[in-house]
Structure 1
Amino acid sequence: MKTKMSLAHKLKSTAFVTTCSIGAFFGIGIYRNEDQFYDKFLMPIVHMCPPELSHRLAVLGFKYKLFPKQQKIDSERLRTKLFDFTMENPLGLAAGFDKHGESMDGLSRIGFGFIEIGSITPEPQPGNEKPRVFRLIDDKAIINRYGFNSDGHANVFERLSKFRKDDSNIIIGVNLGKNKATEVAYEDYIKGINKFASVASYFVINISSPNTAGLRSLQQADHLKLLLSKVIHTRNKLEQGKRPPIFLKISPDLSHNDVCDIISVISEKECRVDGLIVSNTTIERNECLKSQEKIEVGGLSGAPLKNQSTRLIAKIYIMTEGLIPIIGVGGIFNGQDAFEKITAGASALQLYTSLIFHGPPIVQKIKKELDELLEANGLENVEKARGIQAHILAGEK
């Protein structure tokens, strides 16, 4: 009996020590923010979970500040301005990750220059049926068809207001969407402008998600003119000094004529947005995609979108003569990807999918590599690099 008890005790001790050792290994790896640890150990384990569950766990991880704060000060070369905002670096988090404004504090700690939350609809809605998120591991891509699942204006406003009391300096963009049942679309965007004007650094009018029926039709000239005229009028009625800039987020799947129409509309005074976000996810499926999940319906983001979005950035930069700020999004996984989007004409950048695949260290990695490329090319800062290769990247030379 004593022998059995002794063996049981040894097994328990061994299990305890093993568990503690594994916990310490992962704890130290997370604390040190080592990209090799994430790429070789943590992210492969995370990717064993269903994609939407992994997304939820990541949001909670940032919410409870489980990831270490950036200690290193960003290079002066990365500092840039966008409107009245001075950003320590041009790399932001795209909408779609923190949909409900739950993790702004934790996300701001890991080195982003700015954060965008949403899309947010006036009334809470569940979005599309599950499963609605799919990993394309071999393609470094994600397909999602969330469909504007949202906690609604009231809940997100409460969180953002509380965050602003603690930190009023972080640049927080509020991405606005419409409820599925809303028939007059501009009414929902107007509600968002009025609701979040006191707490948003900037607004994004999202009419380019492919996952809400009929939404992309709002990019057509007549619909867009009505929508933007209503939204801009509402913003301009706000108290002087409390009128956040408005960005329009567009699809990467637009035809040349569509792009011309959009630029024509936003050139009109009553529809003049302050900037464009290029671009949202794509419904196109490149023949080179390897993953079986490519057959799923929804918006594709990640590496396969990179060149498509970069060409569109360059094209719009040329067509607008660089006079409208562009936030470049789509397939940014390293410093070279970021550098290309800036030299195509982007004033700032956003990522999402690379964070899903590589975890928080990707932010520091991209910034470091971008800084090295600026230095190697004799460029004083991000602004000096903006648009210098637009004609080449647009495919004109």
Structure 2
Amino acid sequence: MASSKFVKKLTSMAIVGVGGVAAFTGISFYNGNEKFYENILMPTIQKVSGETAHELAIFLCKHNLFPSSTLKDPESLKISFFNHQLSNPIGIAAGFDKQGEAVENLERIGFGFVEIGSVTPQPQPGNPKPRVFRSPLDEAIINRYGFNSLGHAVVFENLKGMKERQRFKGVLGVNLGKNKTSENALEDYSKGLRLFSPIADYIVVNVSSPNTPGLRSLQSKKELQELLTNLLKIRESLPAEHRKPILLKLAPDLTKDDVNDIVTVVTNGSSKIDGLIISNTTIGRDDLKNETFARETGGLSGLPLKLKSTQLIAEMYSLTKGKIPIIGVGGIFSGQDAFDKIEAGSSFLQLYTAFALHGPPVVEKIKSELDGILKEKGFKSIEAAIGLRADGIFGSIFIQNKM
């Protein structure tokens, strides 16, 4: 009898305990508690594979299960983006929402704009699994997805449905890739430009992923000029309301000659584009602490990419005389990281790895810190700080290259 009472009491205590933990977890999750994410949720998610964690994050976003941001964006963060007004300059980079499934909740989390993709014309599975690897020790991710895409038709329907629900009021970018087996890159990008221009606010030509064989060769002078010239001609053939800005996404692993050639192309009349995204992932493996992680092939993102991308931003800003807007991406984990990118020449910013490793609270954290830095330095807006240190950072590149 006593034993039976003890079991019942133990069972009741267990139920109360589990209920308490569940309640705490739920409240912390929906309140966006930074310490809860940092110390409990994200370390738990790290125990599953990188791709499973990515799929879980997309599921939570798609079904509006992440908490909405409660932060009112500071006035200092407002900025004009290709004839759109952003409440803040921080977007989610392509590579997170590849299929255009989670756009609405990404805006609610606090991103100023959302870029989806890369999208390929035909569906393709991408590279064999496993293909995503995380190193919290390095604050980094290596991926070799290889443009896994449901294809133009499915992604277009996802975005069309989103637009019809009329809950998304933000700025949408569509990042275009080519199919792995395609022998005609221009045709692949042209199809995407024609299909998505009516529904997107800007289009990105991604010729810089390291995970599709031969793709980065499209950054060479002759091929890039031919590609961009033809895409711009196609844009001009579209109805006026469908002629959207075209941006080019660059690799961080360019030589000085590569950079000079690209500047010549993107500032040329017939191939002059509207903006640059700097940068994609790197194939470099400098100073990684996790040796097993470092041996994986693919594109490296996160903290180890920060300096390399910032230097390339400064270089391109200086060489183009600040006339081509830049979206800076690569290793942004704090407000200071964001400010460094702005001083190097970025007008806008994107996150990927910080969001994947630290969860939604990192978005508000970076915005709050960035606002504080701007105030501390006496800047009323981001525009006042764009490119202020570009020449100095640009010069340091050549010093390093000569050593």
TM-score (norm 1): 0.97
Query: Is the contact made by 2:104 and 2:168 (CA closer than 8 Å) also made in structure 1?
Result: no
Q: Which residue of 2 aligns with 1:287?
A: 287
Q: How many matched pairs?
A: 396
**1:84 aligned partner, one-letter code:** N
Gaps of 5+ in 2: none
Q: Which residue of 1 aligns with 2:252?
A: 252
Q: Which residue of 1 aligns with 2:68?
A: 69
**1:41 aligned partner, one-letter code:** I
Q: In 2, Cα distance between the equivalents of 1:27 and 1:288?
A: 36
Q: Which residue of 2 aligns with 1:264?
A: 264
Give deviations 1:153-181, integer Å, cap 9, x for gaps.
Answer: 11111111111121353101000001111
Q: In 2, Cα distance between the equivalents of 1:324 and 1:18?
A: 57
Residues 16-31 of structure 1: matches in 2 within 5 Å? 16-31=15-30
Q: In 2, Cα distance between the equivalents of 1:354 and 1:93?
A: 10
Q: In 2, Cα distance between the equivalents of 1:12 and 1:205?
A: 59
Q: Which residue of 1 aligns with 2:184?
A: 184
Query: Is the contact made by 1:79 and 1:381 (CA closer than 8 Å) also made in structure 2?
Result: yes
Query: Is the contact made by 2:124 and 2:148 (CA closer than 8 Å) also made in structure 1?
Result: yes
Give deviations 1:56-105, integer Å, cap 9, x for gaps.
Answer: 00110111111111122111100001220110000000000001111111
SS at match of 1:247: strand
SS at match of 1:277: strand
Give deviations 1:176-217, integer Å, cap 9, x for gaps.
Answer: 001111101110100001111111010000010000000001
Q: Which residue of 2 aligns with 1:58?
A: 57
Residues 331-346 of structure 1: matches in 2 within 5 Å? 331-346=331-346
Query: Is the contact made by 2:267 and 2:320 (CA closer than 8 Å) also made in structure 1?
Result: no
Query: Is the contact made by 2:71 and 2:364 (CA closer than 8 Å) also made in structure 1?
Result: no
Q: In 2, Cα distance between the equivalents of 1:51 and 1:293?
A: 12
Q: Which residue of 2 aligns with 1:141?
A: 140
Query: Is the contact made by 1:136 and 1:291 (CA closer than 8 Å) also made in structure 2?
Result: no
TM-score (norm 2): 0.96
Does 1:43 pair with 2:35?
A: no
Q: In 2, Cα distance between the equivalents of 1:395 and 1:128?
A: 39
Q: Which residue of 2 aligns with 1:225?
A: 225
Identity in percent: 50
Give the C-alpha shift of residue 8 in structure 1.
Answer: 4.5
Q: In 2, Cα distance between the equivalents of 1:122 and 1:16?
A: 52
Q: In 2, Cα distance between the equivalents of 1:98 and 1:45?
A: 22
Residues 100-115 of structure 1: matches in 2 within 5 Å? 100-115=99-114
Residues 268-279 of structure 1: matches in 2 within 5 Å? 268-279=268-279
Give the C-alpha shift of residue 26 in structure 1.
Answer: 1.0
Gaps of 5+ in 1: none
Q: In 2, Cα distance between the equivalents of 1:176 and 1:7?
A: 64
Give the C-alpha shift of residue 279 in structure 1.
Answer: 0.2
Give the C-alpha shift of residue 7 in structure 1.
Answer: 4.6
Q: In 2, Cα distance between the equivalents of 1:143 and 1:266?
A: 29
Q: In 1, Cα distance between the equivalents of 2:232 and 2:289?
A: 40
Q: In 2, Cα distance between the equivalents of 1:97 and 1:382?
A: 26
Runs of 4+ in structure 1 off by over 3 angstroms are: 2-12, 287-291
Query: Is the contact made by 1:138 and 1:291 (CA closer than 8 Å) also made in structure 2?
Result: no
Q: In 2, Cα distance between the equivalents of 1:244 and 1:167?
A: 22
Query: Is the contact made by 2:107 and 2:168 (CA closer than 8 Å) also made in structure 1?
Result: no
**2:335 aligned partner, one-letter code:** G
Q: In 1, Cα distance between the equivalents of 2:64 and 2:378?
A: 37
**1:328 aligned partner, one-letter code:** G
Q: In 2, Cα distance between the equivalents of 1:233 and 1:83?
A: 19
Give the C-alpha shift of residue 38 in structure 1.
Answer: 0.8
Give deviations 1:108-157, integer Å, cap 9, x for gaps.
Answer: 10110001000000111100000000011210000000000001111111
Give the C-alpha shift of residue 28 in structure 1.
Answer: 1.0
Higher alpha-carbon deviation: 11-20 or 378-387: 11-20
Query: Is the contact made by 2:66 and 2:105 (CA closer than 8 Å) also made in structure 1?
Result: yes
Closer, same or farther in 2 for the Cα pair 1:114/1:362, shift >3 Å?
same
Give the C-alpha shift of residue 288 in structure 1.
Answer: 4.4
Q: In 1, Cα distance between the equivalents of 2:160 and 2:64?
A: 19
Residues 68-107 of structure 1: matches in 2 within 5 Å? 68-107=67-106
**2:162 aligned partner, one-letter code:** F
Q: Which residue of 2 aligns with 1:197?
A: 197
Q: In 2, Cα distance between the equivalents of 1:133 and 1:96?
A: 12
Closer, same or farther in 2 for the Cα pair 1:153/1:176, shift >3 Å?
same
